[in-house]
């Protein structure tokens, strides 16, 4: 629910300029030096078109659950009933030592954390409607989660297509993108891939991507982490400029320099989950004097208050500061406390406004999201050396190696058993290469998904559908190249039907392995996934009927053959090569006795049926469907559980 402070269509923002009805500029600004644009002469014309947001929180607590299924779980309270007021049009710093609860408070206020949260957060005097609040806010994580293979311009174009209405023309979107990049000093970096940007440029690009939707509230977790002093100054001055236009900008910061500390309009200091100070940066020194421990001369107040919050001067001083600020309820150290106290926040006129704002979180339709995500996915696939070119190369090389090792084994009656071993090796290749590549690459994509999905770029369904569709042609191409090379080199039966059956089974095994790897990669990190993937694949091999014939399995373990997709893959691929009443395989040496040149004897000895092709295809399709659904459910659970 978005609550308005004023009814007029224009409002004066913090720097004295008036907001206009024109959201999108007709042309970008031109400055001599883009790197200095935002603090020398930046006039960001894309001003907030809605009334500013005033945030108030009361008695906020956060309780984390520690432990796992192997250890006893216990509750630990991180925030202890803190209070505070974050007025609009101000740059606000949440400060404190490591472990003070800075990021936790930021997560709670932004709605990033929902489980274990107590207390109330008010937006313009009304209890926060999280769904509506997320429409007007954005969250920028500490680590810059960008698409590394896309250029600055491409990243911005994708964000614009996802976050802006489809009624906007490409020209309008490009003009908006150019203005944002010009203001943030990134115009010269438009053709540069995100992976080639400096730390400061990456941070500014992260901000630029979210500015496209013109948020009223911006949450930033440690925006200066990893930046040098010049880049830190650049970043904070940019945030100061954005806040002066009427936005509420809240960021966590560990220990700013004296010059950076003075740039913040409001400072909120935490220590062990309690509020030690809340007020303007300029009034911190008087507050410390009022508490009885004045800041030493020529000492950075930011450093001194962090030293106090760490307990370097005694825990009694921490208790004194908590009492003095009443754990965040004391507003007397704000710049204009009397004026702040007189602000009367208006309530929503009727329930119709609430219903209107409870619509879709994403700005565009689902089909437009899918179209944009598909376009981005194909660009990434085209440039990804690991996921695309290495995958294609590996299939070609492995196919050639196996083809050389089993050269013409398909027409050699003395090598029929070896050819059978080759068929299982093919399935192993498809399973392990596909599954492990997905496990290794998807966790890095997951971190980007978490950020973009939380900031309302797209729905999870459209993202997952795009991932599936982008992978289809690449997987099909790799499987076809592998199959055509190996099939011809090993002289398998040159019949179109048999080749088609062989390729179909191989492709279905690839799809199943991809879904299996996606289910693991969606939940586990790279280390755990790399361990679990092969471990969970062992039962698939055990019950496939290769090492131990299915007829020799104990009754109490036979059920395992029904959960092994390799069993159905092996049956199907054996039928493609040796089924359909294939005759005797000729021996090159007429005098040599080739026991397995008779296909029926081979099938009897290995214990694999060659008359279940339709059932095998249905089983593999079912495995594909179930594992894809499982991966989606795991992905959704992952997004919910981290909050």
Whole-angstrom distance, CA of residue 58 vs CA of residue 273: 14
| pLDDT over 90 at 625, yes or no | yes
What pLDDT does residue 40 have?
46
The yes-or-no verdict on residue 59 having pLDDT over 60 is yes
Residue among 188, 193, 201, 203 nearest 151 (CA): 193
Of 627 and 232, more confident:
627
Supply 517's token pair. 């790897």
Look at residue 48 in the predicted model and tell me its pLDDT. Answer: 65
Name the residue among 74, 73, 96, 75 with its Cα closest to residue 84.
96
Phi first, then psi, for residue 21 (nearest 5°) are -75, -15
Mean per-residue pLDDT, 131-149:
89
Q: What is the pLDDT of residue 225?
A: 82
Q: How far is CA 342 from CA 14, 169, 337, 339, in A?
A: 18, 43, 9, 5
CA distance 524 to 377: 23
Highest mean predicted confidence (pLDDT) among 80-94, 309-323, 595-609: 80-94
Residue among 125, 38, 88, 122 nearest 247 (CA): 88
Going from the C-alpha of 74 to that of each of 66, 70, 594, the distances in angstroms are: 5, 13, 68
Q: Can you tell me which residue has the tokens 């289910």?
A: 519
Residues of the chain with CATH 3.40.50.300: 50-146+215-357
User: Quick one: DSSP state of residue 128?
Assistant: -
* 8 A C-beta contact, residue 622 and residue 585: no
pLDDT at residue 9 in the model: 34
CA separation, residue 262 to residues 243, 281, 512 (Å) = 15, 6, 57
Residues whose CB is less than 8 angstroms from the CB of residue 298 and which lie 6 or more positions away in sequence, other chains included: none
What's the mean pLDDT when you consider all of the chain? 84
Among residues 538, 605, 546, which one has the least CA distance to residue 571? 546
> Which of 155, 161, 157, 114 has its CA nearest to residue 133?
114
Distance CA 267, CA 52 (A): 19
Please compute the mean of the pLDDT values over residues 301-308 and round it to a whole number.
Answer: 90
The pLDDT value given to residue 43? 54
* pLDDT tens for each residue of 337-385: 666 655 544 434 333 333 334 344 577 889 999 999 999 999 999 998 8
Quote the Cα angle for 623-626-627, to 5°: 80
Tokens of 61: 């607590």
- The CA distances from residue 640 to 112, 128, 449, 636, 643, in Å, are 10, 19, 13, 6, 5
Mean pLDDT of 474-487: 95
Place of tokens 């996802």: 162
* Dist. CA 499–CA 122, nearest whole Å: 66
Closest CA to 273 of 428, 490, 104, 71: 104
Encoded tokens for 443? 């966790």
What are the two backbone dihedrals, phi and then psi, of residue 270, each rounded to the nearest 5 degrees?
A: -115, 150
Asked if pLDDT for residue 22 goes beyond 70, the answer is: no
CB distance 232 to 260 below 8 Å: yes
Would you say 245 and 14 are in contact if contact means Cβ atoms under 8 Å apart?
yes
Strand 55-66 with 117-123, pairing: antiparallel
pLDDT value, residue 590: 61
Distance CA 85, CA 384 (A): 46
End-to-end Cα, the chain, rounded Å: 21
Output the pLDDT for position 511.
Answer: 96
Separation between Cα atoms, residue 415 and residue 376, nearest integer Å: 47
Residue 67 has pLDDT above 70, yes or no: no
pLDDT at 344: 43
Please provide residue 571's backbone torsions phi and psi, each rounded to the nearest 5 degrees. Answer: -60, -45
Return the ∠ at Cα 354 (arms to 348 and 360), rounded to 5°: 150
Question: Residue 211 has which token pair?
Answer: 């500015």
SS3 461: helix
Edge-to-edge strands, sheet with 91-95:
137-140, 217-220, 248-252, 91-95, 266-271, 274-279
Confidence of residue 70 (pLDDT cuts 50, 70, 90): low
Cα angle vertex 42, ends 40, 44, to 5°? 165
276 sits in which H/E element: strand 274-279
Distance (Å, rounded) from C-alpha 444 to C-alpha 336?
Answer: 46
Q: Would you state the pLDDT for residue 69?
A: 55
Residue 124 pLDDT greater than 80, yes or no: yes
Instruction: Give how far Cα 472 sits from Cα of 318, 469, 511, Å.
Output: 59, 5, 8
- Mean of the pLDDT values across residues 297-313? 88
Overall pTM surpassing 0.85 (yes/no): no
Task: Give dist(CA 153, CA 189) in Å, integer.
Answer: 8
pLDDT-derived band of residue 544, with 50, 70 and 90 as boundaries? Answer: confident
Calculate the dihedral angle through the C-alpha atoms of 139, 141, 144, 148, rounding to the nearest 10 degrees.
Answer: -60
Determine the average pLDDT of the residues in 604-621.
88
Q: Give Cα 93 distance to the centre of its chain.
A: 25
**Cα 233 to Cα 17, 200, 230, 256, distances in angstroms:** 24, 10, 5, 10
The more confident residue out of 33 and 265 is 265
How far are the Cα atoms of 52, 85, 123, 338 from residue 346, in angstroms, in the given order?
Answer: 12, 17, 11, 18
Q: Spell out the CATH class of 50-146+215-357.
A: alpha beta
Is the separation of the CB atoms in 483 and 398 below 8 Å? no
Residue 13 confidence (pLDDT): 40
Report the share of the chain in percent with pLDDT over 90.
46
Report the DSSP pairing between strands 126-127 and 248-252. Answer: unpaired
pLDDT of residue 355: 35
d(CA 448, CA 49): 28
Q: Answer whether 216's CB lies under 8 Å from 50's CB.
A: yes
Q: Of 265, 216, 248, which Cα lies nearest the Cα of 89? A: 248
Do 611 and 579 contact (CB within 8 A), yes or no?
Answer: yes
**Please, what is the angle between helix 496-523 and helix 460-489, to 10°?**
140
The owner of tokens 């219903």 is 355
Distance in angstroms (rounded) separating the CA atoms of residues 160 and 261? 33
The Cα 324–Cα 275 span in angstroms is 10
């Amino acid at each position: 629910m978005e609550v308005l402070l004023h009814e007029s269509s224009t409002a004066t923002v913090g720097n004295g300029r008036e907001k206009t009805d024109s959201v999108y500029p007709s042309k970008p600004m031109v400055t001599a030096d883009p790197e200095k644009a935002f603090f020398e002469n930046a006039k960001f014309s894309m001003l907030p078109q809605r009334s500013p947001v005033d945030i108030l929180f009361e008695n906020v607590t956060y309780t984390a659950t520690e432990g796992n299924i192997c250890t006893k779980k216990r509750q630990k309270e991180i925030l202890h009933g803190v209070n505070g007021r974050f007025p609009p049009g101000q740059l606000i710093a949440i400060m404190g030592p490591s472990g003070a609860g800075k990021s936790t408070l930021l997560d709670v206020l932004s709605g990033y954390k929902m489980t274990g949260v107590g207390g109330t957060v008010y937006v313009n005097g009304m209890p926060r409607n999280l769904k509506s609040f997320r429409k007007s806010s954005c969250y920028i994580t500490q680590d810059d989660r960008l698409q590394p293979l896309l250029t600055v311009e491409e990243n911005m174009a994708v964000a614009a297509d996802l976050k802006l209405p489809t009624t906007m023309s490409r020209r309008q979107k490009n003009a908006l993108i150019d203005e944002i990049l010009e203001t943030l000093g990134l115009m010269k970096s438009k053709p540069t891939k995100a992976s080639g940007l400096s730390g400061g440029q990456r941070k500014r690009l992260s901000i630029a991507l979210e500015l496209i939707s013109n948020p009223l509230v911006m949450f930033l977790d440690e925006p200066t982490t990893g930046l040098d002093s010049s880049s830190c100054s650049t970043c904070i001055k940019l945030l100061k400029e954005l806040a002066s236009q009427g936005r509420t900008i809240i960021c966590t910061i560990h220990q700013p320099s004296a010059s950076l500390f003075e740039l913040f309009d409001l400072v909120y200091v935490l220590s062990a989950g309690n509020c030690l100070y809340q007020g303007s940066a300029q009034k911190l020194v008087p507050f410390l004097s009022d508490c009885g421990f004045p800041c030493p001369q020529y000492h950075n107040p930011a450093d001194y208050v962090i030293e106090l919050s760490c307990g370097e001067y005694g825990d009694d001083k921490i208790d004194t500061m908590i009492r003095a600020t009443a754990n965040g309820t004391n507003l007397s150290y704000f710049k204009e406390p009397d004026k702040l106290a007189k602000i009367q926040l208006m309530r929503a006129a009727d329930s119709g406004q609430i219903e209107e704002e409870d619509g879709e979180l994403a700005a565009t339709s689902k089909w437009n999201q899918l179209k944009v995500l598909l376009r981005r996915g194909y660009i990434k696939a085209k440039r990804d050396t690991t996921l695309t070119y290495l995958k294609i190369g590996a299939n070609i090389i492995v196919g050639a190696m196996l083809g050389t090792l089993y050269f013409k084994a398909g027409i050699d009656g003395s090598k029929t058993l070896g050819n059978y071993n080759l068929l299982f090796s093919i399935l192993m290749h498809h399973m392990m290469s596909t599954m492990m590549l997905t496990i290794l690459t998807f966790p890095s994509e997951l971190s980007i998904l978490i950020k973009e999905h939380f900031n309302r770029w797209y729905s999870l369904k459209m993202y997952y559908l795009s991932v599936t569709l982008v992978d289809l042609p690449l997987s099909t191409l790799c499987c076809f190249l592998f199959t055509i090379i190996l099939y011809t080199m090993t002289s398998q039966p040159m019949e179109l039907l048999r080749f088609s059956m062989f390729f179909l089974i191989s492709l279905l095994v690839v799809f199943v392995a991809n879904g299996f790897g996606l289910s693991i990669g969606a939940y586990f990190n790279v280390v755990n996934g790399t361990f679990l993937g092969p471990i969970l694949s062992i039962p698939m091999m055990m019950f496939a009927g290769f090492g131990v014939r299915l007829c020799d399995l104990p009754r109490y373990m036979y059920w395992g053959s029904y959960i092994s997709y390799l069993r159905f893959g092996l049956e199907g691929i054996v039928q493609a090569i040796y089924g359909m009443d294939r005759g005797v395989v000729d021996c090159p040496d007429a005098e040599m006795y080739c026991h397995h040149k008779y296909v029926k004897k081979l099938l009897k000895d290995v214990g694999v049926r060659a008359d279940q092709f339709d059932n095998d295809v249905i089983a593999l399709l079912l495995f594909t469907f179930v594992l894809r659904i499982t991966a989606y459910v795991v992905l959704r659970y992952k997004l919910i559980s981290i909050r």
